[in-house]
Amino acid sequence: MSYALVVAEVRRGVFEERNLDSFGLSSLLGKEIVLVVPDGPYSFNERLADTIVKVKAGEEVFLNPLNLVDIIEQVMNGRGKPDCIVFTHSSSGMESAPYVAGTFGLPVVTDVSAINKDEGVFYKSYYSDKIFGEFKCTGQGPWVLTVRSGSFKDAAAEKADAAKVEYIEGVAASDKRVFLEYVEEEKTEIDITKAEFLLSVGRGVGNKDEIPTYEELAGMLKATLSGSRPVIDKMWLPKPRQVGTSGKTVKPKVYLAMGISGAFQHIAGMKDSDCIIAINKDAGAPIFQYAHFGVIADMHKVRDKLKDMLKS
């Protein structure tokens, strides 16, 4: 049987929306879809799969690369190898897909954001989205893929018939890598998800000493200051101020991005803002593709000019 094996991502009882992109890619490839998911009361559109294999294990056992190889082996037993094994390009997919590929000796392409089905090629981003690599698998499949969130979800198509449901009764859970607990982020006074106007700074800010000057600008504009990953990694702004998939998803009326090039993880966290304004000196920065208004300029010069104007 020619099928795509979609490995579902479930976190804290929620069937993650980015799973839709895995369904979408598999539909575009014209494959029958076998979804493997930890057994539980998650609500999702079961019509998107032809077969649902429910694994009697908790999500924390399921989303562990050492256990997933056993689960995938069980799915393939009696069914044969799929044409592709599809993961979300997320913390868990990025961890498990290469491990699965390594275990079964399969080709892997991560962060797939486009395909050309007729030519059998996948596209993945290089150099912070400035270049796409066009890939062909030369080896025997199945291909192991991770799918960029937002890329294929519109292609997810409902099947005519209700999905067939099967169960995997047990998993050989590894004792070499064991989930202990979830750790929540500390609560802070400022919640950037509630702000109507965010001034967000990125790598272009250059050094820590510049941060207070942007705090000042944000104060003058009555905006809330947030940042992209490089600024948080360097600890120039606290983690709760991070916009992006590993931080917060925000939808302010205005998102003013200064010195942010626009890695997809950042875009995913702010793309639904009503109005996005990007200021960057790199005309090729991907953020200009997503912004409503753009300015190619040194962010510091814009800051100084804005401050002058707002003072007078």
Residues of span 241-300 touching another protein by CB under 8 A: 242, 245-249, 252-254, 256, 261, 274-278, 281-284, 286, 288-297
What is the chain's Cα-based Rg? 22
Backbone angles phi, psi at 51, to 5 degrees: -135, 140
Stretch that binds another protein, among 32-40, 76-84, 165-173, 215-223 (CB under 8 A): 215-223
With binding defined as CB under 8 A, does residue 172 bind another protein? no
Q: Which of 61, 106, 115, 299 binds another protein (CB under 8 A)?
A: 106
Q: Which is nearer to another protein, 42 or 99 (CB)?
A: 99
Single out the residue of 257, 276, 123 nearest to residue 199, CA to CA: 257
Smallest gap from Cβ 133 to another protein, in A, equals 5
CA distances from 253 to 197, 208, 260, 277 (A): 6, 27, 18, 11
Rule CB under 8 A: which of 44-63 touch another protein? 60
Q: Which of 96, 151, 226, 228 binds another protein (CB under 8 A)?
A: 96
CB 57 within 8 A of CB 67: yes
CB 117 within 8 A of CB 38: no
Tell me, by CB under 8 A, how many residues bind another protein. Answer: 106
CB atoms within 10 A of CB 35: 26
Stretch that binds another protein, among 20-28, 46-54, 79-87, 170-178 (CB under 8 A): 170-178
CA distance 275 to 257: 11
Decide: helix, strand or coil at residue 60: helix
Q: Which of 81, 153, 159, 239 binds another protein (CB under 8 A)?
A: 239
Smallest gap from Cβ 50 to another protein, in A, equals 27
